Amino acid sequence: MTDALTNPSERLRIVHCFRSPVGGIFRHVRDLIAEQVKLGHEVGIICDSNTGGEFEERLFEELRPSLTLGLHRLPMDRSIGPRDVSILWKLYKNIRNLKPDILHSHGAKGGAYARLIGTPLRLGSKRPARLYCPHGGSVHYDRSKLSGWIYFQLERLLERMTDRLIFVSNYERDGYFEKVGPSKCPSSLVYNGLTEEEFLPVGTNSKASDFVYVGMMRDLKGVDLFLKALPLVHQKCGQPVSALLVGDGPDLERYKQMAQTLGDGVTTRFMDPMPARQAFGLGRTLVVPSRAESMPYIVLEALAAQRPMLATRVGGIPEIYGPYAGALVQPDDLDALAVAMSAQLTGRLKLPKPQEMANRIRERFSSKVMAADVMGAYREVLDNS
């Protein structure tokens, strides 16, 4: 696969299609684009126009010079709705005009759009190759519920329009095969990766809060549990507790209202999205209280930066921790989270050694390896079509 990255036989036109330009998916796409542009490929992005704020706009401005196939943003709703028909037609015309060799989709909604469009574009041609990375997506749904059943049936149907699946963790791959069914198309396992500069240690700000949360403001990420745990930590430790929450999302205003009801012993602050490494030092301990994840960049970044962290045992996080997974917290368990936070605040919690964890991440999660494996997947699809 390395040859596919370092000696591409042709200059490819690559379009990345995803809905939400925030969080791990956006980070994953930016890393891939950086490596693909270095190789001389032409790259473009199609994503939602209603998601993201000033922070994401700055990231887009940094990306624009690299996007020779352009940045195309249209309103994309999270759930399925009537507006999807008109959006599909607009996206079809956009993608048709870009004439991509590779249509790489990310997340459930982006994956649906791209594959529904890429299939008619292939009539009479072998291109574009249609690759899909769930990034969790539909896998997070409960198959015992009607909504989950519907999404899994749609995934099964769309798989017929897929040339290759790319999974970012064993958890994601196993969850997909269990809930959607064994794959009828080839698949690859490609871990997310970090750049070398991300392994520089990050120190703690002199005015840091006791705990910091960095990420999307959604219940799926366990932010509500984090807030509810703070007064319990105050009670258990008998001392004031401070927390900083950095990020944006659909439940932000509700969390701000919750924070006002936590009592006198708890101090909370909220800040807009910022680079993760900048946010890490604003708290003495990072808390990742997620109910569901796939292969979260925030965990990789924090461990590479040698930051103290409490994370839940969900998704691909145990794969990241490996033999140190015993340090992870039971997910969706308020008391377990509060106990761990209390032990960390009072110095009684034994976490893995920062340098050992950073070394583990360096060995297994590299952005160059990630890009090489993805390019290898592209080549296999094109060579076998």
Using alpha carbons, list the distances in angstroms from residue 39 to 68, 80, 123: 13, 37, 29
Judgement on whether residues 224 and 318 belong to the same structural domain of the protein: yes
Residue 300's CATH number: 3.40.50.2000
The DSSP letter of residue 65 is G
Q: Based on the structure, what is the number of domains in the chain? A: 2
pLDDT confidence of residue 9:
60
Can you tell me the mean pLDDT for 261-281? 97
Backbone angles phi, psi at 213, to 5 degrees: -115, 135
The answer to whether 69 and 98 are in contact (CB under 8 A) is yes
Judgement on whether residues 206 and 153 belong to the same structural domain of the protein: no
Using alpha carbons, list the distances in angstroms from residue 83 to 6, 76, 80, 147, 300: 42, 8, 8, 19, 37
Judgement on whether residues 82 and 17 belong to the same structural domain of the protein: yes
Can you tell me the mean pLDDT for 11-22? 95
Answer yes or no: is pLDDT of 3 > 70: no
Judgement on whether residues 83 and 122 belong to the same structural domain of the protein: yes
Judgement on whether residues 177 and 240 belong to the same structural domain of the protein: no
Can you tell me the mean pLDDT for 238-261? 97
pTM (2 d.p.): 0.84
Query: Cβ–Cβ contacts within 10 Å for residue 97, how many?
Result: 11
* First-to-final CA distance of the chain: 18
10: confidence class by pLDDT, cuts 50, 70, 90? confident
Give the residue from 297, 303, 306, 287 showing the smallest Cα distance to 242: 287
Judgement on whether residues 30 and 166 belong to the same structural domain of the protein: yes
Judgement on whether residues 227 and 177 belong to the same structural domain of the protein: no
Judgement on whether residues 312 and 371 belong to the same structural domain of the protein: no
Judgement on whether residues 318 and 372 belong to the same structural domain of the protein: no
CA dihedral 106, 111, 114, 116 (to 10 degrees): 170
User: Which tens digit of pLDDT belongs to each residue from 181-226?
Assistant: 998 899 999 999 999 999 999 999 999 999 999 999 999 999 999 9
Cα Rg of the chain, angstroms: 21
Can you tell me the mean pLDDT for 296-310? 97
User: Which tens digit of pLDDT belongs to each residue from 141-183?
Assistant: 777 888 888 889 999 999 999 999 999 999 999 999 999 999 8
The DSSP letter of residue 225 is H
The percent of residues in the chain predicted with pLDDT above 70, rounded, is: 98
Answer yes or no: is pLDDT of 71 > 50: yes
Say which residue the tokens 């583990």 belong to: 360
Judgement on whether residues 225 and 340 belong to the same structural domain of the protein: yes
Judgement on whether residues 234 and 261 belong to the same structural domain of the protein: yes
Token pair listed for 204: 């703690």
Judgement on whether residues 69 and 163 belong to the same structural domain of the protein: yes
The answer to whether 16 and 114 are in contact (CB under 8 A) is no
Domain that holds residue 353: 197-364
Give the residue from 269, 305, 270, 303 showing the smallest Cα distance to 288: 303
